[in-house]
Structure 1
Amino acid sequence: MLTLRKITLLLAFTLFGQRAIATETEVLFDTQRSRHIPVTITPIDSKCTAQKKCPVVFIGAGYGMAHTDYQFAQQVFHQHGYLTVEVAHELNGDPSLNPEPPYMTTRMENWHRGVETLVFLVNELKGRYPAYDFNQLTLFGHSNGGDIAALYAAIYPAKVSKVITLDHRRMLIPRNKNIAVLTLRGSDYPADDNVLLTQQELALYPVTQVTMAGSRHNDMYDGGPKVLVERMRKELDAFLSRY
């Protein structure tokens, strides 16, 4: 049986209109894996219904980052009518991220653990939030969080509508005409072979690859340079307006 331990209920304010938003910060417990999963969930104040469902996004952090370090993105998603679920994938006691290549092999255990967490959250939350669409997810992730998002889309392509990554570098971007992708690329580290699409592939799939000139991989979060954070915010806003 799945259980839930609720920690607190916060009032947050968006950057858009300064409205109060009920934000639930909780730890969910996956009994099958004996795993606690910290999440921050922000529903939207709208006319979402079981007949006309609003979209859902799962937000995953880069390795070593906090799952709440991407408020610039959370606020853009919220403005576009998304229920946002910020997920802590890495817990104390988890094995360290393997530093040895080939990463598609050595890091697969970590990514699969993240995918299993997302599957658990879908099953746990869809009953609690029936006015939101958990069958056509948007997945957002920075670095290793983006690798997890890309793997989920590879395993469950029919359950994903969009993937947005901030400089993930290991897992292949989905090549799927039904999944819109935005990947914002840092300029200090290259992606592994075949992660990004070729020009020929970009003509076939709804994938947008944007290199952020002068940006650093580790700066692509709320604490990065303001110019970079604002550029990422604008790119995300434009993408969600288009798809």
Structure 2
Amino acid sequence: MKRRKNRFYTVLIGIFILTIGGLASLSSGEPASISSNNTRNKRYGIRIEKFQVFDSIRNRLIPYALYSPKMKGDSIRLVIFSHGYGSNYSKNYLNYSYLTKRLAEEGFWTLSIQHELEGDSLIPTFGIIQIVRMPFWIRGEANILFVLNHFKESNPNLKVRSVDLIGHSNGGDMSVLTAKDHPELIRKVITLDNLRMPIPRISKPHFSSLRSTDKTADSTVIPPEEVCLTCGIKIIQLKRTTHNQMNDEGSRKQKKQINNYIQKILEDRL
């Protein structure tokens, strides 16, 4: 009889300890267990480095920031980001940190390039835009190619598995031009409301575009729906995001929506 009582109290104490442990887990907001195979929700720590490289052929300095995940590995996925026009504001390439940091957290090495320098001519607002702005897009294309080559030469032990381009507005236009001229280098292009450079009617590289609520692109920019379907081009209309809310000035909800779309596109989940 005494043994039964002792066994009963032992079981009771064990149940009590398990119950307290479960309540503590719930009160801390942490799950009791996390599957080690759940990599989709995993966030890598990131490293941010700033560089200034000099293109001696064009006699031009090119600042850029590298956002990289703090993880080991010699095979990487690379994204090159190009900012929207900022009237030569010197830190425009840092004004999309919600996007560049998130990409690094998801495992993408990300280069964000400063395309405008103090003393550069301001972008034309009159005339035939596709003609008067072409030199600015060509300069942006040259910046992208130079920084890409510089990165590869500076990191000879890294194997670049893929190169994707993302750009906002004017940066989207130069990203489209770069992919159009060098399709062999680029896997995907994602534009955030580019307005002038027509998206090529091709399936490789793969093109996607997130559109704002307050700007209308030139009539030749967005391919017809049937062409998009044939070529796999994704046109995504955002419902509550304006053109100027696509940088760090946007709300948390707007940034989250943009990041989610970009991540799905890059991972072929859209």
Alignment TM class, shorter chain as reference = 0.7 to 0.9
Q: Secondary structure at the match of 2:231?
A: coil
Give the Cα separation in 2 of the matches to 1:105 and 1:111: 10
- Once the two structures are superposed, residues 183-227 of structure 1 have per-residue CA deviations (whole angstroms, 9 ceiling, x without a partner) of 110111100011012111111112111111132111111111222
- Mapped to 2, the partners of 1:214 and 1:176 lie a distance apart of 29
**Distance apart, 1:127 and its partner CA:** 1.6
Distance 1:38 1:109 in 2: 19
* Mapping 1:64-103, distance limit 5 Å: 64=86, 66-103=92-129
Runs (4+) of structure 1 moved beyond 4 Å? 15-18
Partner in structure 1 of residue 76 of structure 2: 54
**Deviation per residue, 1:94-136 (Å, 9 max, x gap):** 11111024221110000000111111112211121231428x4
Structure 1 unaligned runs (5+)? 1-14
1:119 equivalent in alignment to 2:145: yes
Q: Mean Cα displacement is larger for which, 214-223 or 157-166?
A: 214-223
- For 1:9, the equivalent position in structure 2 comes to none
Query: Between the two proteins, what is the percent identity of the paired residues?
Result: 29
* Aligned counterparts of 2:184 and 2:119: Cα–Cα separation in 1: 33
Aligned-pair CA distance for 1:17: 4.5
- Aligned-residue CA RMSD (Å): 1.9
Higher helix share: 2
Whether 1:133 aligns to 2:181 is: no
Q: Distance in 2 between matches of 1:132 and 1:57?
A: 14
In 1, Cα distance between equivalents of 2:222 and 2:234: 10
Q: Secondary structure at the match of 1:188?
A: coil
2:41 corresponds to 1:23: no
AA partner of residue 58 (structure 1): I
Larger strand share, 1 or 2? 1
Distance, in Å, in 1 between the alignment partners of 2:234 and 2:106 is: 19
Bigger shift: residues 171-180 or 111-120: 171-180
Deviates more, 1:231-240 or 1:143-152: 231-240
Q: Map of 1:39-50 to 2, 5 A cutoff?
A: 39-49=64-74
Q: In 2, Cα distance between the equivalents of 1:151 and 1:242?
A: 23
Q: Match for residue 188 of structure 2? A: 162
Aligned to 1:33: 58
**Which segment is superposed worse, 100-109 or 88-97?**
100-109
Q: Which moved more, 1:184-193 or 1:224-233?
A: 224-233
SS in 2 for 1:137: strand
- 2:3 paired residue number: none
* Cα gap change, 1:74 to 1:113, in 2 (>3 Å): same
Cα deviation code 1:3-29 (max 9, x no counterpart) = xxxxxxxxxxxx96473x332111111
Task: Provide the rounded CA distance (Å) in 1 between the counterparts of 2:42 and 2:56.
Answer: 38
Report the structure number with the largest CA radius of gyration.
2
Asked whether the equivalents of residues 179 and 206 of structure 1 are also in contact (C-alpha less than 8 Å), the reply is: no
User: Is residue 2:228 matched to residue 1:180?
Assistant: no
Deviations 1:21-53 (A, max 9, x none): 33211111111111111111123333432xxx3
Total equivalences in the alignment: 224
CA offset at residue 138 of structure 1? Answer: 0.6
Report if aligned partners of 1:48, 1:132 keep a CA contact under 8 Å in 2. Answer: no
Secondary structure of 2:230's partner? coil
- State whether structure 2 residue 225 is matched by structure 1 residue 199: yes
> Is the 2:81–2:111 contact (alpha carbons within 8 Å) kept by the matching residues of 1?
yes
Contact 2:44 2:70 in 1 (8 A): no
TM-score by length of 1: 0.86
Hey, what's the Cα distance between the residues in 2 that align with 1:71 and 1:35? 25
Task: Verify the 8 A CA contact 1:57 1:140 in the aligned structure 2.
Answer: yes
Secondary structure at the counterpart of residue 253 of structure 2: helix
